[in-house]
Structure 1
Amino acid sequence: MKSDQPSSSRVHQTVVAEQFGPRAAAYVTSAVHAQGEDLQQMAGMVMGIGHARVLDLGSGGGHVSFQVAPHVREVVAYDLSQDMLDAVAATATERGLENIKTERGAAEKLPFEDGSFGFVMSRFSAHHWHDLDAALREARRVVRPCGRAVFADVYTPGHPLLDTFFQTIEMLRDPSHVRNYTIAEWERALKKSGFAPGEVTRRRLRLEFTSWVTRMQTPEVHVQAIRSLQQRMADDVTRHFEIEADGSFTIDTMTMIANPV
């Protein structure tokens, strides 16, 4: 999980920014990202805590920010893509959410003081982080000792065949993808970073194929490679991911709550 090559980290950050910057509007309006029980769970965690300050780590289209902002004092949407942050700021203004601020940077180096947030929340971002361990250490540093962190992401079920297939189609779709981790890998990384892993909620999420590749403007040659793999894989892959005739499929997602120790 950890890299000792800072220069490669900068290169990867460029890939992430180039992938997501031109697609900011698509992610703000994406139905897959704009709704879900995980968002409701996050909003429920901050209800009644009007004084809280929340970091939306790897904010993407800002959907965590939009959900929690009505319940807290301030939300900082933090992302590597300035285009994405500009889209979040514009949408926040349209919705009258004046307590959403934006800040640009990498998850591995946060420009915030120690213990400056009551909550750190991250959704569908960690699988793009160049160094998961470094980012989690930073999340631990900026959350208050009595605060709470919540990480929602896709996870891999861990079986080598399922894992290889899933990581492959993710990379073909989006070269900024780093890795989907198992729940056990998440727990180990959180413990190493100074968190106590807590409640885990597992969910299944169906992805409609055409919108999934269109949102990332996946090159047609890669789209065809993904479809070829889907059609040639063993039955246990087809069953687990519930691969449909049009390429739509279903993935595993999780929401993990973590407390500072």
Structure 2
Amino acid sequence: MSDAERHNDHSAVVERQFGAQAAAYLSSSVHAQGAEFVQLRERVGRLDAPRVLDLGCGAGHVSFQVADLAAEVVAYDLSPRMLGVVAEAGGERGFGNIRTVQGVAESLPFADHSFDVVCSRFSAHHWRDVGLALREARRVLKPGGLAAFIDVAASEQPLFDSFLQTIEMLRDTSHVRDYAPSEWARMVGEAGLVMTSSSRQRLRLDFDTWIARMRTPDVMRDAIRHLQSQVGQEVRDAFEISDDGAFSTDMLVLWATK
């Protein structure tokens, strides 16, 4: 199988997983809320009528947060059905400056130096080649431009990393990898971006809504619950696993510039 065929195959998995659940992501409190939005609005608000790329926009929460601060927001995603939700919701909210574009993160259909801000939130763990996507983000970013990457963060400890990747894949077959902060720092640097700050936040996930949002089959749901019950206490403590399956994980908020 060629690289193009492998990429198309993964893209099909992502669209199958997310397209039918686009509306669920619009109403998801996990995606619609977050302390990181305060940082994002504060930093974007310093710029004069910026052009913003919401990379892997999902249901458009980043786009909606910054639209009133920007000259234009391009909501970019692999899923046409997600983009349909963004366009409809953006119109209902009166954001006439949000434009939707379909495509993959590793090949951006934009000219060099097109954007003042590139932001990606809860998307990179689905990208087949994060390094290539980051290089593309740098290419389309203006010199001195702002980049923000926000995603679930893996642990630097192998045991905790293995547990997280396993439950992520069981829940969602389009999952590629959650990256540790050290991996993010390396990949951002290799892409030619300069990391200016990074921080971690704690994210609490209700098990039933986490599962329902992805329409995870019962057999996979049961496998996750069984795994949660069988892991050692140090894993249960690290992820704060409750009897009902709710758990906590870290998310990384990384800022960089070109």
Mapping 1:80-95, distance limit 5 Å: 80-95=78-93
CA–CA distance in structure 2, aligned partners of residues 56 and 137 of structure 1: 16
Structure 1 position 49, deviation (Å): 2.5
Shift in Å at residue 51 of structure 1?
1.5
Report deviation, 1:45.
Answer: 1.1
For structure 2, list consecutive stretches of 5 or more residues without a partner in the other structure.
Answer: none
Separation of aligned partners in 2, 1:102 and 1:130:
22
User: Counterpart of 2:96?
Assistant: 98
In the alignment, the residues of structure 2 paired with residue 239 and residue 18 of structure 1 have an alpha-carbon distance, to the nearest angstrom, of 34
Q: Which residue of 1 aligns with 2:230?
A: 232
How far apart, CA to CA, are the structure 1 residues paired with 2:3 and 2:245? 37
* Of 23, 28, 35, the match for 2:26: 28
For 1:78, the equivalent position in structure 2 comes to 76
TM-score by length of 2: 0.98
Task: Map 1:73-152 onto structure 2 (within 5 A).
Answer: 73-152=71-150
CA shift, 1:48, in A, is: 4.0
Counterparts of 1:177-196 in structure 2 under 5 Å?
A: 177-196=175-194
Between the aligned partners of 1:155 and 1:96, the Cα distance in structure 2 is 34
Instruction: Kindly indicate whether residue 203 of structure 2 is the aligned counterpart of residue 205 of structure 1.
Output: yes
- How far apart are 1:225 and its partner, in Å? 0.1
Structure 1 residue runs without a partner (length 5+): none
Q: Contact 1:48–1:71 (CA<8 Å) still a contact in 2?
A: no
Q: Secondary structure at the match of 2:174?
A: coil
Q: Among all aligned residue pairs of Structure 1 and Structure 2, give the percentage whose two residues are the same amino acid.
A: 51
Which residue identity does 1:167 align to in structure 2?
Q
Of the structure 1 ranges 189-198 and 213-222, higher mean CA displacement relative to structure 2 is found in 189-198
Whether the 8 Å contact between 1:40 and 1:67 is mirrored in structure 2 is: no
Partner of 2:153: 155
**One-letter code of the match for 2:15?**
A
Letter in 2 for 1:138: E
Give the CA deviation at 1:5: 2.5
TM-score by length of 1: 0.97
Distance (whole Å) between structure 1 residues aligned to residue 153 and residue 3 of structure 2: 26
CA contact (8 A) 1:52 1:117 kept: yes
Aligned residues: 257
State the match for 1:7 in structure 2: 5
Match of residue 67 from structure 1? 65
Deviation of 1:110 (Å):
0.1
> How many Å separate the matches in 2 of 1:31 and 1:90?
19
1:51 matched to which residue of 2?
49
Tell me which residue corresponds to 2:219: 221
- Following TM superposition, by how much is the alpha carbon of 1:50 offset from its aligned partner in structure 2, in angstroms? 4.0
Q: Please, which moves more after superposition, 47-56 or 200-209? A: 47-56
Give yes or no for contact 1:76–1:102 (8 Å, CA) kept in 2.
yes
Aligned pair 1:170/2:168, yes or no?
Answer: yes
1:201 Cα offset (Å): 1.6
Secondary structure of 1:176's partner?
coil
